Amino acid sequence: MWNYEKRLQFPVNITSPNARLAQAIISQYGGPDGEMGASMRYLSQRYASPYREVSAILTDIGTEELAHLEMVATIVHQLTKDLSMEEIEESGFANYYVDHTVGIWPQAASGFPFTGAQFQSTGDIITDLMEDMAAEQKARTTYDNILRLIHDQEVCEPIKFLRAREIVHFQRFGEALRIVQDKLDSKNFYAFNPGFDKCPS
């Protein structure tokens, strides 16, 4: 179960609206490498892990991703809450506005809606951890791309924090994969599902 803590993991205080930037950053809410996919991926995958340490890291990183989801939503909210109708029309924000006004909805920057098809939960912890390491790198690349679009320090700081977390999570998933592989022998190192196939020990 979960409890809500009424604060952000890292402060977000954006004072200048910017609809164009909000449209790019929304991708880290509901896009293919966004925080919603990240949290749902890890929190779904953890049941198939036969190793407690690995279930724990999936639970705790999946939980931290929910805090990141809230930070991204806060950034988009603060970038859009005081927009004038002129700014909405001139910034290309009208397509989002027509369906959602300035509410928060999970979509990619392209407008493609969030879907569970953006991530896997294969029931094979080795396969899943390989995906998780790739997912952290993809999210880090997306944050790099976002940082090149930002010229406002107030937006830059929380995005830099989120980018740094991808690197730490990549490291921890690498260690989790190492833990799993240390429990296998040379015959099943790459092609064995330790949660489903019975180990002939």
Partner 1 sequence: MMNMHFANEQEKLLHDIGILSFVVVELTLYLDTHPDDRNAMEYFNHYNRMTNQAKKEYSAKYGPLTISYADTSECSDWKWALGPMPWEGGCN
Residue 2 CB, shortest distance to partner 1, in Å, is: 11
Per-residue contact track with partner 1, 78 to 97, x per CB under 8 A?
Answer: x-------------------
Q: Closer CB to partner 1, residue 94 or residue 167?
A: 167
Per-residue contact track with partner 1, 51 to 70, x per CB under 8 A?
Answer: --x--xx--xx--x-----x
Is 129 one of the binding residues for partner 1 (CB under 8 A)?
A: no
∠ CA(69), CA(31), CA(162), 5° rounding? 40
Is 124 one of the binding residues for partner 1 (CB under 8 A)?
A: no
Q: Radius of gyration (Cα) for the chain, nearest Å? A: 19
Q: Closer CB to partner 1, residue 60 or residue 87?
A: 60
Displacement of CA 6 from its chain's centroid (Å):
20
Among 44, 50, 66, 77, binds partner 1 (CB under 8 A): 77
Is 13 one of the binding residues for partner 1 (CB under 8 A)?
A: yes
Number of chain positions touching partner 1 (CB under 8 A):
30
Per-residue contact track with partner 1, 158 to 197, x per CB under 8 A?
Answer: ----------xx--x--xx--x------------------
Residue 198 CB, shortest distance to partner 1, in Å, is: 26
> Which residues of this protein are in contact with partner 1, per CB under 8 A?
3-15, 53, 56-57, 60-61, 64, 70, 73-74, 77-78, 168-169, 172, 175-176, 179
